[in-house]
Amino acid sequence: MQVTDIESKWIRSHVQQFAACGVGQGTVAAILCETLSRRDILAASRHALAQLGASAFIIELPSPAQTEVVPVRSTGACDAVQGLAPVIAALAQTDIVIDCTVEGMLHAPELPRIMAGGTRLMMISSEHPEILERVGVNPSLEPRVKAGVARMRRAGRMHVRSEAGTDLHIVIDGCPAGGNWGYCTERGTRSHWPGGLIAAFPKAGSVNGTLVFAPGDANLTFKRYFESSVTVQIENDYITRIDGAGLDAELLRSYIAAWGDREAYAVSHVGWGMNERARWDAMSMYDKGDFNGTELRVFAGNFLFSTGANEHAGRFTKGHFDLPMRNCTIALDDEVIVERGVLQGELAPAQG
């Protein structure tokens, strides 16, 4: 899809998003972007902040040179800030940072210093504004996500299984867990748009079992659906085998091996999607340059399995996969909270 002008409807969707974050007259806001940021999102953000009466400024940084041996995608850790103290200081003095960088600042090393004084971060996923418009503010998510996070934090174990053959056991007792609903109002908080994700970062040695990716599951680093079955064995957090006869398995093996880094085989985070407005099949509608995959990370009832960096387990790497899976059953301490891809109980959206 190609866009030559910013649509007024996209400005409206950004106004709605920022208003849900409490942005209004007198709010001090910074738009953080880089030279490779999407111009349509940047323009919509600028106009929306002006309409809301915010005192806003823009910081644009050069997108750094690519230095890795393989393409880097889907890290959630923008490297454009480069630790620059004046940039960090300027962002830290705002009420809210509108993050329009390519990869986003959610896992960037500078973020704790930016947010230390109470600044909050609203990350806009780098994709076509139509996606943002379609999966916009959903007030019903906040109480359900909070309930899911509370349930995750009370649990000691997570068990994920599927008819395709997945049988994964995860110790989550005491591990960091959180969630977002697409906007942030409290000081020192962060969120991303589209929202609706609950995730935990297991401690070292907590993940064991088998994952079986089936057709229709997604590889968001490659921005493609699995078209063949791939079986992954995990022992003490690390992938030890990737079995499958098709291209999907070969691509997975090749990309992870290319990093030459054992940590690229490790588990990063696990969780599930909560957003009933997000669609698992949306990736088929967009060119890769217009799709960053956040919608598939948050679609209701998916099990999101991710590999790569997990600072809470002492592991760091740029090699990263986000792999949302359909039709899984997720249990916390034997209580099923997702049944074959359908949210249960207080986590389920209201009917009708």
d(CA 124, CA 120): 13
Residue-range domains of the chain with CATH? 8-134 (3.40.50.2300), 141-179+194-347 (no CATH)
Contact 304, 324 (CB under 8 A): yes
Residue with tokens 């090699």: 319
Checking if the pLDDT of 14 tops 70, the result is: yes
pLDDT band at 182, cuts 50/70/90? very high
Give the pLDDT band (50/70/90) at residue 352: low
Report pLDDT for 69: 80
pLDDT at 60: 98
Q: What is the mean pLDDT of residues 247-265?
A: 94
Q: Which residues, other chains included, contact 4 with Cβ-Cβ below 8 Å and sequence gap of 6+?
A: none
How much is the pLDDT for 229? Answer: 97
- For 59-96, the pLDDT digits (tens) are 999 999 988 888 887 777 889 999 999 999 999 999 99
Mean of pLDDT values over 315-344: 95
Here the tokens at position 156 are 């000691």
pLDDT at 4 over 90: no
User: pTM score > 0.85 for this model?
Assistant: yes
Q: Tell me the β-bridge partners of 239.
A: 234
DSSP for 78-116, written as a single string? --SSTT-HHHHHHHHTSSEEEE--SS-STT-TTHHHHHT
pLDDT of residue 315: 85
Q: Please give the average per-residue pLDDT across 220-236, as a whole number.
A: 97
Q: With contact defined as beta carbons under 8 Å apart, do 185 and 176 qualify?
A: no
CA distance linking residue 80 with residue 69, whole number of Å: 19
SS3 for 300? coil
User: According to the model, what pLDDT value does residue 319 have?
Assistant: 85
Least confident of 7-11, 51-55, 65-69, 121-125: 65-69
Read off the pLDDT band of 242 (50, 70, 90).
Answer: very high
What are the tens digits of pLDDT across the range 22-64?
999 999 999 999 999 999 999 999 999 999 999 999 999 999 9
Which phi and psi (to 5°) does residue 179 adopt?
-160, 165
pLDDT for res 310: 86
The answer to whether 351 and 342 are in contact (CB under 8 A) is no
Tell me how far apart the alpha carbons of residues 182 and 16 are, in angstroms, rounded to a whole number: 11
The yes-or-no verdict on residue 160 having pLDDT over 70 is yes
* Average pLDDT over the chain, rounded to an integer: 94
Which secondary structure element, helix H or strand E, spans residue 343, and what is its range? Answer: strand 342-343
The angle subtended at Cα 189 by Cα 96 and Cα 146, nearest 5°, is 135
Weakest mean pLDDT among 43-52, 102-111, 249-258, 280-289: 102-111
pLDDT in the model for residue 107: 84
Mean pLDDT of 143-172: 97
Q: Is 240 exposed, middle or buried (0-12, 13-18, 19+ CB in 10 A)?
A: exposed
Higher pLDDT, 316 or 330: 330
Residue 1: the pLDDT is 46
H or E stretch including 177?
strand 177-180
pLDDT surpassing 80 at residue 199: yes
Average pLDDT for 184-197:
96
Beta strand pairing status for 120-124 and 96-99? parallel
Q: Is the pLDDT of residue 3 over 60?
A: no
pLDDT of residue 77: 83
Could you tell me if 278 and 135 are in contact, meaning their C-beta atoms sit under 8 angstroms apart? Answer: yes
- For residue 5, pLDDT over 80 is answered with no
Q: Give a three-class secondary structure readout of 203-265.
A: CCCCEEEEEEECECEEECCCCEECCCCEEEEEECCEEEEEECCCHHHHHHHHHHHHCCCHHHH
- Other C-beta atoms closer than 10 Å to the C-beta of 180 total 25
Please say whether the beta carbons of 121 and 182 come within 8 A.
no
Taking 60 as the threshold, does the pLDDT of residue 185 lie above it?
yes
Write b or e for each residue in 182-195: b if 16 or more Cβ atoms lie within 10 A of its Cβ, otherwise e: bbbeeeebbbbbbb
